[in-house]
Structure 1
Amino acid sequence: MPDTFHHYAKSPEELADIDTILSRSGLEFMQDIIEGRLPGPPIGQTLGFRPVHAEEGKVIFEGTPEFRVMNPIGTVHGGWYGTILDSCMACAVQTMLKKGQIYTTLEYKINIIRPIPIGTRVLAIGTVHHAGRSTGIADGEIKGLDDGKLYATGSTTCIVMDGPRRQP
């Protein structure tokens, strides 16, 4: 996978504004982040993951859990699994949006199959199974980039909405 991701937003002002978001399809928006035309969200920098691929109905994130995401018993915190899975699954739904639409996660579920060793590079792959007028449904998997092991799975339901209209 090409390493084209450029940077994360460092302040709220650097994040895309609503007009920028609504002027693109969801797929264009994701591709603009991956290709560096728009900055990535700071959560990725905080937790050590980034989007690396987007196509219609599919988004892939690459990540590496580090010491800072460990829980008190010395394993990767479940919130790390949940956050990278929510990101890849919801962004997969986003790739199905038309210009002028927005979305948000309604609910998601994860199943942790085995612990990810600290420093292991993984891919989180989100795939859409339904993209309708008001909902999107996707699932996701976390797989080891080098070992191919399945570490976790997830599913999500997102709400799809028309974006806010600007007042004349």
Structure 2
Amino acid sequence: MRGFLDYLGIALADPDDVARPGNDAGVRIVTTAQHANINGTVHGGLIATLVDSVMGQAVRSGLEEGERSATVSMTVTYLAPAEVGQELCASAEVRRRGQSLVMAEADVMAGETAVAHAVATFSVTSAD
């Protein structure tokens, strides 16, 4: 069960669909009117959710059994507005992993247009 992601309509992308080679994770969504902001473009909160989700997925792909992760900090740079009705694809990769912190980066694309870039730090702890 993915809860919030299912509610928003965010799906895991096939590994072959991830935009850049070497990425660890990908998600996608076809935006609808329910994802719009007051200006009629896609709400920045949805884009932030995309990058947080895809970076979290990339981080989780490298966890050992019994570990879990949580977002500690995240910076999203919005590069272009996304239009309602567009498919947005987000890809991420882990840049560095230490003992208790992991840094990841993500990009959101609408076709050939870069919509956002994000960096985040995740904590890794024991699930015990």
TM bucket normalised to smaller: 0.7 to 0.9
**CA shift for structure 1 position 48:** 2.0
- The residue number in structure 1 matching 2:49 is 83
- The residue number in structure 2 matching 1:21 is none
- Alignment pair present for 1:157 and 2:121: yes
- The residue number in structure 2 matching 1:131 is 97
- The residue number in structure 1 matching 2:112 is 148
* 3-state SS of paired residue (2:13): strand
Higher-strand-fraction structure: 2
- The residue number in structure 1 matching 2:60 is 94
The change in CA–CA distance for 1:43 and 1:91 in structure 2 (over 3 A counts) is same
Which digits, 9 at most, give the CA deviation of each residue in 1:17-49, with x for residues without a partner?
xxxxxxxxxxxxxxxxxxxxxxxx121222221
**CA shift for structure 1 position 156:** 0.5
* 3-state SS of paired residue (1:87): helix
| Structure-to-structure mapping, 1:21-60, within 5 angstroms | 41-53=2-14, 58-60=24-26
Number of residue equivalences:
122
- Alignment pair present for 1:63 and 2:23: no
Gap runs ≥5 in structure 1: 1-8, 10-40
Preserved contact between residue 93 and residue 136 of structure 1 (Cα < 8 Å): yes
Preserved contact between residue 59 and residue 92 of structure 1 (Cα < 8 Å): yes
**CA shift for structure 1 position 57:** 6.4
> How many percent identity over aligned positions?
23
- The residue number in structure 2 matching 1:13 is none
Higher relative contact order (CA 8 A, sep 6+): 2
- The residue number in structure 1 matching 2:19 is none
**Aligned to 2:77, which of 103, 106, 111?**
111
- Give the Cα separation in 2 of the matches to 1:72 and 1:116: 13
Gap runs ≥5 in structure 2: 16-21
Moved over 4 A (4+): none
Preserved contact between residue 77 and residue 118 of structure 2 (Cα < 8 Å): yes
**CA shift for structure 1 position 161:** 0.5
